[in-house]
Structure 1
C-alpha cells in the first residue's frame, strides 16, 4: 500500500463516528490486559438493593446497566452533549434519572442524596462528592492515571506534555482524606495496551483528545508512518495504561 492509500485509509478511520463510550468498531484490532481488580465486583459488593445510586460520567450508560440496580433508584450524570442525548433516549424510558452537568464543582443534585456514588474514568470535585453523599455513604472510583498512554502519546505527538501529571493515586487519596473521607481500599496498576494496526490507533487517538492533543492524520502523518514500520515488523504497537482504584467512605 503506497503512502496516499495509507493516508486515505487512516483519514477514513479518523472520520468514523463515535457514540457513547463504545470501542466495538475496533474490536479485535486492539487489546489490553486485565486489571488486578474487578471494578464491577467491587461496586456490587457495596451496593445494596435499596441504595440510591449515582453513576458519574456514565457515557452512554453501558456500565450502569450491567449493575441491574432498580432503575427508580439509579441516577446518572454526563457532560458530553451527544452522550446526554443518547442517555435520554436509552435510560430515561427505563426510569433512570439523567442529569447533564457542565462543571464538576456544581452538580445539579441535592445535598446528602446518595448512598453510593460510583465514578469510572470521570473527573470529579472532592467537595461536591462529599456534599451529595449521605453520611457513611461510599464513593467508589476507578481513574485513568496521569501517566496513561504516555509512551503512545510521545510516539504520535511531538514535544508531548501530559495534561494531568499530578493525577495520581497518592494525590487523590490525600485529597479525599482532607475532604472528609476515610479510605477503605486503594490500588494502582500499569498494564500493557496493544494495537494491531495503525488505523485502530488513529481511531483511538482521535477520540482520546486530551491524551493526544492536536492529533490528526495530517499533522501526525510522519509519526504514523514510523509506527506503520513497527507494525510491519512486530505486528503490534504496545503502550502502557495507568489506572488506580479508590473506595472511600464519607465520615
Structure 2
C-alpha cells in the first residue's frame, strides 16, 4: 500500500497549474504557513482608500487583485511578465475595470511619468529607477517580497544550492536601493515564518509551480530523495521549511 501511495503522489507533477493559484494545496490544508505580524492584503486595502490611480505589479493571473475589487480606485492597472498568465489576468481583471499590460522589462514600463499615486507589488521584481519615474510626488510604493533563502530546507533535502542570483535578497539590500534623498521609508518588517507540507504531493505541486526553487527538478532525477521525503512525512507527519518574507512601504519625495 505504501508503494502505491508513493507513486500516486508522484502524479501530482501532472496537476494543472495556471495563473498564481495554489488553492488545491492551500485551501485544502495540505500546506500551511505560520502567521506574519502584518497582512499585505490589509496594507493594500488601507492604501487604496487614499489613492486615485493604482498599479499592481506582477498580478499573476489576477487572483489576489480581483478579491479587492470593492476597494478599487477610479483608475487601476496591472502588469504581468509571465506570458501564459497575461490572458488569464485579462479575463479575470478587465471585466472589473483593470487595464492589464504584459511587461517583459522592469526598466521599461508602459506608463507616463508621475502617473500613479500608489504602486503595489507582491513577490515581483522591480526597478527603483522606473518606480521613481512613474510614481507621483508623495506617491507610495508598497511591496511584500520573498527573501533569497526562502524554503532553503527544500534545497538542502534535494542536495541543491540556493539560487545565487537571489541569495542576497533581503530587507537590508532592498532598503539600500532607495536613496534617502528621493524616498522616505514609511514601514519595514522582515520575518521568517514556517511553512509546513503535510504530504509529498503538496511538495511536488509546489516545486512544479515554483521552478526556480529547484531549477532542474524532475521526478526521475530526484525519485530517491522524494521517496525519503515520503517516508519522513509518513513518520513525522509533515515537512517544515523556513520562509523568508519582508514588507516595505516607501514614499516618493
Q: Does TM, normalized by the shorter one, top 0.5?
A: yes
Give the conservation status (yes or no) of the 8 Å contact 1:13–1:199: yes
2:42 matched to which residue of 1? 41
Structure-1 separation of matches of 2:72 and 2:162: 43
Q: TM-score, normalised by structure 2?
A: 0.92
Query: Aligned in 2, Cα 1:181/1:2: closer, same or farther, shift over 3 Å?
Result: same
Alignment match of 1:82 (pick from 56, 61, 84):
84
Inter-partner Cα distance in structure 2 for 1:33 and 1:161: 22
Q: 2:142 is matched with which residue?
A: 140
- Which secondary structure state, in structure 1, belongs to the residue aligned with residue 126 of structure 2? coil
Whether contact under 8 Å (1:185, 1:246) holds in the other structure is yes
In structure 2, the partner of 1:210 is 212
How far has the Cα of 1:25 moved from its partner? 1.3
Contact 1:53 1:74 survives alignment (8 Å): yes
Gaps of 5+ in 1: none
Asked whether the 8 Å contact 1:192–1:240 carries over to 2, the reply is yes
Which residue is equivalent to 1:126?
A: 128
Find out whether 1:17 has 2:51 as its counterpart.
Answer: no
Contact 2:53–2:73 at 8 Å: present in 1 too?
Answer: no
Separation in structure 1 between the aligned mates of residue 102 and residue 226 of structure 2, nearest angstrom = 36
Partner of 1:162: 163
Structure 1 residues 218 and 96, CA gap change in structure 2 (3 angstroms): same
Change (3 A) 1:70 1:237: closer
Alpha-carbon separation, structure 1, partners of 2:43 and 2:225: 40
Shift of 1:72: 4.7
Q: Distance between the aligned counterparts of 2:169 and 2:46, measured in 1?
A: 26
User: Is residue 160–residue 214 contact of structure 2 (8 Å, CA) maintained in 1?
Assistant: no
- After superposition, the CA RMSD in angstroms is 1.7
> C-alpha distance in 1, partners of 2:49/2:73?
13
| Superposition deviation, residue 240 in structure 1 | 0.6
Q: How does 1:1-251 map to 2 (within 5 A)?
A: 1=1, 3=3, 6-7=6-7, 9-26=8-25, 27-48=28-49, 50-67=51-68, 68-70=70-72, 72-156=74-158, 158-163=159-164, 164-177=166-179, 180-251=182-253
Aligned residues: 249
Change in CA separation of 1:108 and 1:18 when aligned onto 2, cut-off 3 Å: same
Report the Cα distance in structure 1 between the residues aligned to 2:77 and 2:45, rounded to whole angstroms.
Answer: 16
